[in-house]
């Protein structure tokens, strides 16, 4: 409240979406941007995504090979404060294996509902979504 | 799907399909790929599919069952249309 009354707005939480599927990246950007997040989306192809300043990484855990794990390790090394939301189609055993090997904070199974992702990103980032921007 | 006048989805097209009751959702995917996300109404699902398809110049299909698809929007360039 102090920052707002002084005319200084807190910066938007920055969200990086990494998914091999353009439809998924597009949908997440469309859902998260009006909810007040600064969203960057990219494919998982090398080089590694820039993670400096990223508050939440939304990562497709179904990426081919070990791409998901490599990106998670990169994030943990470069930006340990970044929180991670995994989008997964794995069964619970596969998800548990992936989760215990990296600093995963939340996981949502594909196919997901967009409001669930917005809510999870809001929780992870600590940035509340304005009521008017909430998806139904 | 063998009816050439109706065409068939091509790689990159968006496909909308309904899940089984009672949890009725409308799932979006690209043709040949897995389901990505869902909406609780047909209108929302198709509206989102149309916005993406318009941007990507692909078509939108509704999958009624394993054998039947209906094109609900066409934005694919003529030279690549199915």
Question: pLDDT by residue (tens digit) across A10-36?
Answer: 789 999 999 999 999 999 999 999 999
SS3 (DSSP) at B14: strand
Question: Of the candidates B25, B30, B39, which has its C-beta nearest A23's C-beta?
Answer: B30
Cα B54 from chain centroid (whole Å): 12
The pair of three-digit structure tokens given for residue A38, joined into one six-digit string: 């600064």
Q: Which two tokens mark B13?
A: 């097209």
* Region of poorest pLDDT, from A27-31, A124-128, B25-29, B60-64: A124-128
Which of 20-79 (B) contact A at CB < 8 A?
A: 25, 27-30, 33-40, 48, 51-52, 55-56
Nearest to B35 among A30, A111, A114 (CB): A111
In terms of C-beta density within 10 A (0-12 exposed, 13-18 middle, 19 or more buried), how is residue A17 classed? buried
User: C-alpha angle with apex B27: A17 to B77, nearest 5 degrees?
Assistant: 80
Interchain proximity A27–B56, CB inside 8 Å:
no
pLDDT, residue B6, reads 64
Average pLDDT of span B10-28: 90
Q: What is the pLDDT of residue A82?
A: 92
Q: Give the per-residue pLDDT at B80.
A: 67
For residues B22-28, give the mean pLDDT: 88
Low-confidence ranges of chain A (pLDDT < 70): 1-9, 64-65, 90-104, 132-136
The answer, yes or no, to whether residue B20 has pLDDT greater than 90, is: no
pLDDT of residue A48: 81
- Does the beta-carbon distance from B38 to A22 stay under 8 Å? no
Determine, for residues B30 and A62 on separate chains, whether the beta-carbon distance falls below 8 Å. no
Residue of B18, B65, B7 whose CA lies nearest to B45:
B18
Question: Which one of B25, B36, B40 has the shortest CB-CB distance to A23?
Answer: B36
What is the C-alpha to C-alpha distance for residues B15 and B29, in angstroms, rounded to an integer?
5
Considering only B10-24, B30-44, B48-62, which range has the smallest mean pLDDT?
Answer: B10-24
Counting runs of H as helices and runs of E as strands, what totals does chain A give?
Answer: 5, 6
Which chain A residues touch B38 with a CB distance below 8 Å?
Answer: 111-113
Band (B3; pLDDT cuts 50, 70, 90): very low
Give residue-wise pLDDT tens across range B37-57: 999 999 999 999 999 999 999
Among A127, A112, A136, residue whose Cα is nearest residue A60: A112
Please give the model's pTM, rounded to 2 decimal places.
0.84
Q: Does B80 touch chain A (CB under 8 A)?
A: no
- Residue scoring higher pLDDT (B59 or A68): B59
Edge-to-edge order in the sheet of strand A38-42: A38-42, A14-18, A56-60, A83-88, A106-109
């Amino acid at each position: 409240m102090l920052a707002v009354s002084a005319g200084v707005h807190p910066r938007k939480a920055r969200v990086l979406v990494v998914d091999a599927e353009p439809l998924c990246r597009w949908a997440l950007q469309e859902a998260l941007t009006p909810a007040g997040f600064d969203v960057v989306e990219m494919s998982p192809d090398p080089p590694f995504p820039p993670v400096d300043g990223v508050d939440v990484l939304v990562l497709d855990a179904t990426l081919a090979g070990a791409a998901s794990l490599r990106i998670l390790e990169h994030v943990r090394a470069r930006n340990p404060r970044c929180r991670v939301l995994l989008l997964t189609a794995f069964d619970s055993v596969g998800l548990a294996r992936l989760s215990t090997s990296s600093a995963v904070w939340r996981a949502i199974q594909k196919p997901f509902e967009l409001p669930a992702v917005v809510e999870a990103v809001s929780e992870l980032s600590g940035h509340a979504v304005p009521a008017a921007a909430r998806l139904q | 799907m063998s009816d050439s006048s109706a065409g068939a989805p091509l790689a990159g097209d968006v496909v909308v399909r309904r899940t089984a009751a009672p949890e009725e959702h409308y799932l979006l995917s690209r043709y040949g790929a897995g389901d990505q996300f869902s909406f609780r109404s047909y209108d929302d699902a198709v509206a989102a599919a149309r916005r993406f398809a318009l941007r990507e110049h692909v078509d939108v299909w509704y999958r009624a069952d394993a054998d039947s698809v209906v094109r609900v929007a066409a934005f694919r360039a003529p030279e690549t249309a199915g």
